[in-house]
Amino acid sequence: MPFSSSIRVGLVGYGFSGKTFHAPLIRAVPGLDLVAVVSRNADKVQADLPGVIVEANPLALVTSSLIDLVVIATPNETHAPIARVALAAGKHVVIDKPFALDMREARELIALSRQHDRLLSVFHNRRWDSDFLTVRRSIIYQHIGEVTHFESHFDRFRPQVRDRWRERADPGSGLWFDLGPHLVDQALQLFGLPDRVHGNLARQRAGALTDDWAHVVLDYEERRVILHGGSLVAGGSHRFVVHGTGGSLVKRMPDRQEQQLLDGLQPGALGWGDDPDPLIVHAADGSTRYLPATSGDQRMYYRGIAEAFNGNRDNLATDLQSLAVMAVLEAAEHSSRTGTATSLDLTPTERAAWS
């Protein structure tokens, strides 16, 4: 990939994800220049990003000679169609999670990116959350020996069904496709590919049109990894609970970067990514100690993109890693429909990326 002192970025979509995450993180990374945004509300974009080009037509932006890197932060069913056009136009592409609607679309995009020799990455920003980094560090240092039970929760209290694409009966909607990619990607980063997937998805709120509750278990021989998300959890659950042969870990509170962004704190500002909630370690002898949390920094995702673009490092969120996340999402949905444990739909070559 050619060296560029300034990588010109076009952001397709300025809804919650584009406005809250992508735009601030992109602008906080040296070497990335957010030059254009696709939105039907030019006033909204210009109020936040004075001087940025606002384009109503996504196809015009992704084929523009002014853009090197296209970031897609649109409804899930549009990810693959926009990415296809961008890759065919010779652009490097970042796609918000999930990768695509299914494995077929994801594989098509991988093949197209390789055909055109272009970077293709999925926005797995939660690898740089303080809660995950804290638990990951403790597992690496074997503070509780070998992990036998790993539990990861994204629980929220949102009792009212809202009229937005994530909660409609549309392709790629629902809690599992919204929060599941974060949960799955973190689990795969820690433990690799599971042997089997047991999925259970449900609609619990009155008027729900798609799943708003998910409970998925990944089998790794004797180890069990539980991924859970609910929309009717007002309190009482922890972000992570981990049991091992030498003790247990509890991380109570989630990373604060999303809330900091919503509060207007700029990435890299004083206090950015700080986490006051310590990790609780319950030792085998019955003692308890508290370890300071590791600070989070989601800028690292886009810093890695800039370095990969310029040939200074490999893509941090590779296409085959993102394909594996897609495989787990699909397996959980299939398992929920059929009531059976499901293996991952990955070829030997795709599996070899994890060996």
pLDDT tens, position by position, 27-86? 999 999 999 999 999 999 999 999 999 999 999 999 999 999 999 999 999 999 999 999
Domains parsed from the chain with CATH numbers: 7-123 (3.40.50.720), 129-296+330-338 (3.30.360.10)
- How do beta strands 196-202 and 213-220 pair? antiparallel
Band of pLDDT at residue 314, cut at 50, 70 and 90: confident
Q: How far is Cα 150 from Cα 167, in angstroms, rounded to an integer?
A: 28
pLDDT of 1 over the 60 cut: no
pLDDT of 244 over the 60 cut: yes
Q: Give the alpha-carbon dihedral of 67, 21, 177, 249, to 10 degrees.
A: 140
Q: Which two tokens stand for residue 30?
A: 């040296």
Q: How far is Cα 293 from Cα 202, in angstroms, rounded to an integer?
A: 33
Residue for token digits 């449900």? 202
User: What mean pLDDT do residues 326-332 have?
Assistant: 98
How much is the pLDDT for 310? 84
Q: What are the backbone dihedrals phi and psi of residue 155, each rounded to the nearest 5 degrees, phi first?
A: -110, 140
User: Please, which residues bridge with residue 220 across strands?
Assistant: 223
pLDDT of 130 over the 60 cut: yes
Average pLDDT, the chain: 95
How much is the pLDDT for 315? 75
pLDDT of 114 over the 70 cut: yes
Band of pLDDT at residue 3, cut at 50, 70 and 90: very low
Band of pLDDT at residue 5, cut at 50, 70 and 90: low
Burial class (CB in 10 A: 0-12, 13-18, 19+), 251: buried
Query: What percentage of residues in the chain have a pLDDT greater than 90?
Result: 93
Q: How far is Cα 219 from Cα 341, in angstroms, rounded to an integer?
A: 9
pLDDT digits (tens, 9 = 90+) for 251-305: 999 999 999 999 999 999 999 999 999 999 999 999 999 999 999 999 999 999 9
Considering only CA atoms, which of 85, 76, 80 is closest in space to residue 107? 80
Contact assessment for residue 186 and residue 133, using Cβ atoms and an 8 Å cutoff: no
Q: Which two tokens stand for residue 291?
A: 């370890």
Band of pLDDT at residue 237, cut at 50, 70 and 90: very high
User: Please, which residues bridge with residue 155 across strands?
Assistant: 230
How much is the pLDDT for 317? 79
DSSP summary character for residue 303: H
- How do beta strands 247-251 and 279-283 pair? antiparallel
How much is the pLDDT for 141? 96
- Neighbour count for residue 156 (Cβ, 10 Å): 16
SS3 at position 146: coil
DSSP summary character for residue 21: I
Listing DSSP states for 182-197 in one string gives HHHHHHHHHH-S-SEE
User: What mean pLDDT do residues 133-144 have?
Assistant: 97
pLDDT of 8 over the 80 cut: yes
Q: How far is Cα 303 from Cα 294, in angstroms, rounded to an integer?
A: 19
Q: How far is Cα 274 from Cα 222, in angstroms, rounded to an integer?
A: 35
Considering only CA atoms, which of 17, 20, 13 is closest in space to residue 36? 13
Q: Give the alpha-carbon dihedral of 172, 174, 179, 181, to 10 degrees.
A: -30
Q: Which two tokens stand for residue 42?
A: 């030019």
User: What mean pLDDT do residues 101-119 have?
Assistant: 96
Residue for token digits 């319950």? 282
Per DSSP (E only), the strands in the chain are 7-12, 32-38, 53-55, 69-72, 92-96, 120-123, 147-155, 196-202, 213-220, 223-230, 240-244, 247-251, 279-283, 288-291
Q: Does residue 278 have a cis bond before it (omega within 30 degrees)?
A: no
Indicate the pTM of the whole model: 0.95
CA 109, 110, 111, 114 dihedral sign is: positive
